[in-house]
Structure 1
């Protein structure tokens, strides 16, 4: 079982969904701080 391959696939799918959600959802759904938090979460899984 190669976990790194599965992780890369999952991160790729999440990043794609996240990009779609950010593209469709207006930024005014929450404050700019929440938007910035989303960007940090997007890059976090690559170290895991």
Structure 2
């Protein structure tokens, strides 16, 4: 199998896996649905405010 095909299949598998886990979290863990994006956003904001 060519390397580009293998990388494509690997990427699609990761995408589908993340989508399924995201759907499970959204359905069953309401607090996580709100907290995870807030934590990611605060991390990005912290890096932007205090680079280096």
Query: TM-score band, normalised by the shorter chain?
Result: 0.5 to 0.7
Give the aligned partner of residue 21 of structure 1.
21
- Bigger Rg, which one: 2
Question: After the TM superposition, which segments of 4 or more aligned residues of structure 1 sit over 3 Å from their partners?
Answer: none
1:6-41 deviations in whole A, cap 9, x for unaligned?
Answer: 000001111110000111113135234538xxxxxx
Question: Structure 1, unaligned stretches of length 5 or more?
Answer: 36-48
What is the RMSD of the two structures over their aligned residues, measured on CA atoms?
Answer: 2.3
Q: TM-score, normalised by structure 2?
A: 0.51
| Aligned length, in residue pairs | 35
Q: TM-score, normalised by structure 1?
A: 0.54
Which has the higher relative contact order, 1 or 2, with Cα contacts under 8 A spaced 6 or more apart?
Answer: 1
